[in-house]
């Protein structure tokens, strides 16, 4: 029995045009063959607009074809095997077909609509089911000729629970009518113009290495596509909008890994990311109370400001989100000079974060030093430890920056500070306590070796040769019990090396080399965020071969499906780390005036590197 076959399959993402194309030839049971081409674009200038073009070309016949298209709110969440959308209202008017849906848990609503541009002679009729509305189209096809169907979609999201469904519908329909005259050609032309400006401003050229050239452009493309900053107060999920893994939740990765890209390439988007933390400050204040603390405790995983992680060891013990937010504010203001944000919103967050860290820490009995007990650092393989070096050092920096900002506003005699201090009941005594805790913060450090101890007692933990672990046991989270993970001096991802990256200018090359040599041999890189940080530090300490090895992993992680999980969604924050890898790694080497003999050694190691002119250009953007 003859069956259908598909040949000449091609899938293409055009970075210059911002258009995704899928094409194949369908050989049907009746021996008829038709070439189908699907084009899609998500407008970068109108964030509500998405377009689809379907091209049908019969190769050996003429006749009719039936096409069904519509809006489907009956999608099943693959991981949870549950439908999280509920259809509220549907209908058609003025050539616009629309549906209003509501999320099951949060009650957020989405108005989705579309308009069809059909060829002459085409016929269409409405199809309506529960959670679905669409059109059944009948097309007249001519042999060897292309027949085109364009679909233009307008989406409008609303999180205001006070508005009625009818009000949301009315706003969505008004927006759909506003763009009713836009056609696919015009949208595609605007899209191409937008991306031309992007590449003029943000392109990175790597000579002699087409694989990583493609890789870094893919990373830049995805970061622009993921987040525009058009909606202040939205954040970036770990998978962006490309997959269901992590349930759309945002982590500390946003400020530590994603924010730098937007600071340099789209400051509006960078500010919008920080606006999310200000918008969700009330939730962070409530969360701190649950831990018997004052101030603001930002969640390790969130979509709306509340804690969404259901593992207590992560949600209660990982304190480093607040310091990441503080670092993000500092970094953003230092690069953009946006003092208005710092004074109007940033300082309020800094004060409340400082209050949390001032009430979560304690004084050690023997050392008399201040620190944090019963915590989990970025490593995540060390549970309920005391004085995690990363947390302690970042908290010290956070206290210092908060006090510097307060002093700056006081010296300028800004009325905004007086009003804020009064509203928050900020006292001189409280500030003195912060300074005392910062000045007496315990930073675990071995003066003889120059190595920072990840936490109290880390140097005395049983050692495990990570290369002795069979490859079949990776990822370890899937094959080892939790308590087994926590027994050794093995680490999941950068911890000490992470703060050396964030405050790179404060550590000598010798200090970085000593700590890199110690911790890299213990790191299994179970996180996709790990390779780029190691690459950056390897470049700084004259390890070109190692730097390139880690860099290569970062740029093509999803293109080559290294972790065999790209189907769950792109590693958005790792993509951002790949960009930092070049700018803060190879670019930083140039800024530090590393001799070009290092570059020659890099090439002799069999690696291709960015051109010298590019490295000089990138160095001007470095920290």
Residues with catalytic function: 380
Return the structure tokens found at 317. 């013990």
For residue 475, whether the previous peptide bond is cis, meaning omega lies within 30 degrees of 0, is yes
514: Cβ contacts below 8 Å, ≥ 6 apart: 449, 450, 451
Return the structure tokens found at 442. 């315990």
Return the structure tokens found at 471. 């490859």
For tokens 């095997």, the residue is 81
349: Cβ contacts below 8 Å, ≥ 6 apart: 277, 278, 281, 296, 325, 326, 329
Return the structure tokens found at 605. 């190691």
Return the structure tokens found at 523. 């790191």
Q: Is 525 left (phi over 0), alpha (psi -120 to 50) or beta?
A: left
Looking only at the bridges linking them, the beta strands covering 82-83 and 76-77 are antiparallel
DSSP state of 453: P
Q: Is 235 left (phi over 0), alpha (psi -120 to 50) or beta?
A: beta
User: 3-state DSSP call for residue 386?
Assistant: strand
CB 112 within 8 A of CB 189: no
User: 3-state DSSP call for residue 559?
Assistant: coil
User: 3-state DSSP call for residue 426?
Assistant: coil
């Amino acid at each position: 029995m003859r069956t259908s076959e598909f040949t000449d399959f091609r899938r293409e993402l055009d970075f210059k045009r911002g258009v995704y194309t899928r094409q194949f030839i369908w050989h049907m049971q009746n021996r008829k063959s038709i070439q189908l081409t699907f084009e899609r674009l998500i407008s970068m200038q109108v964030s509500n607009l998405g377009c689809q073009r379907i091209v049908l070309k019969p190769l050996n016949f003429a006749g009719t074809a039936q096409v069904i298209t519509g809006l489907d709110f009956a999608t099943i969440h693959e991981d949870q095997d549950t439908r999280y959308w509920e259809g509220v209202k549907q209908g058609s008017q003025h050539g616009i077909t629309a549906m209003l849906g509501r999320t099951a848990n949060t009650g957020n609503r989405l108005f989705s609509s579309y308009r069809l541009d059909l060829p002459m002679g085409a016929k269409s009729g409405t199809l309506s089911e529960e959670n679905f509305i669409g059109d059944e189209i009948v097309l007249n096809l001519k042999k060897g000729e292309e027949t085109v169907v364009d679909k233009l979609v307008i989406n409008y999201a609303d999180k205001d629970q006070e508005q009625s469904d009818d009000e949301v519908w009315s706003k969505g329909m008004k927006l759909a009518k506003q763009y009713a005259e836009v056609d696919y050609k015009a949208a595609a032309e605007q899209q191409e113009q937008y991306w031309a400006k992007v590449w003029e401003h943000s392109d990175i050229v790597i000579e002699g290495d087409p694989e990583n050239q493609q890789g870094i452009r893919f990373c830049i493309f995805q970061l622009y596509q993921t987040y525009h900053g058009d909606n202040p107060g939205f954040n970036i999920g770990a998978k962006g909008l490309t997959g269901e893994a992590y349930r759309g939740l945002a982590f500390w990765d946003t400020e530590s890994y994603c924010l730098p890209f937007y600071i340099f390439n789209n400051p509006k988007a960078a500010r919008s990311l920080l606006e999310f933390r200000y918008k969700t400050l009330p939730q962070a204040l409530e969360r701190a109370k649950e831990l018997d603390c004052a101030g603001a405790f930002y969640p390790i995983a969130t979509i709306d400001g509340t804690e969404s992680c259901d593992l207590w060891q992560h949600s209660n013990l990982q304190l480093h989100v607040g310091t990441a937010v503080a670092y993000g504010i500092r970094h953003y203001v230092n690069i953009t000079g946006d003092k208005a944000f710092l004074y109007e919103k940033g300082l309020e967050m800094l004060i409340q974060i400082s209050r949390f860290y001032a009430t979560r820490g304690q004084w050690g009995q023997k050392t008399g030093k201040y620190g944090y007990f019963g915590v989990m650092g970025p490593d995540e393989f060390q549970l309920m430890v005391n004085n995690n070096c990363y947390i302690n050092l970042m908290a010290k920096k956070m206290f210092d920056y908060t006090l510097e900002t307060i002093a700056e506003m006081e010296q300028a005699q800004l009325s905004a500070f007086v009003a804020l201090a009064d509203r928050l009941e900020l006292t001189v005594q409280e500030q003195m306590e912060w300074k005392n805790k910062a000045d007496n913060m315990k930073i675990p450090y071995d003066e003889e070796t120059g190595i920072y101890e990840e936490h109290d007692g880390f140097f005395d933990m049983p050692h495990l040769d990570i290369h002795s672990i069979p490859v079949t046991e990776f990822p370890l989270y899937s094959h080892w019990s939790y308590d087994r993970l926590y027994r050794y001096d093995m680490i999941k991802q950068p911890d000490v090396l992470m703060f050396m990256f964030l405050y790179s200018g404060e550590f000598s090359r010798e200090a970085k080399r000593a700590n890199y040599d110690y911790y890299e041999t213990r790191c299994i890189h179970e996180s996709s965020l790990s390779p780029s940080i190691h690459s950056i530090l390897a470049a700084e300490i004259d390890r070109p071969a190692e730097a390139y090895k880690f860099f290569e992993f970062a740029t093509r992680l999803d293109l080559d499906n290294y972790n065999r999980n790209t189907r769950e969604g792109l590693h958005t924050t790792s993509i951002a780390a790949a960009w930092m890898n070049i700018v803060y790694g190879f670019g930083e080497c140039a800024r530090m005036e590393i001799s070009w003999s290092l570059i020659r050694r890099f090439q002799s190691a069999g690696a291709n590197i960015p051109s010298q002119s590019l490295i000089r250009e990138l160095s001007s953007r470095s920290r």
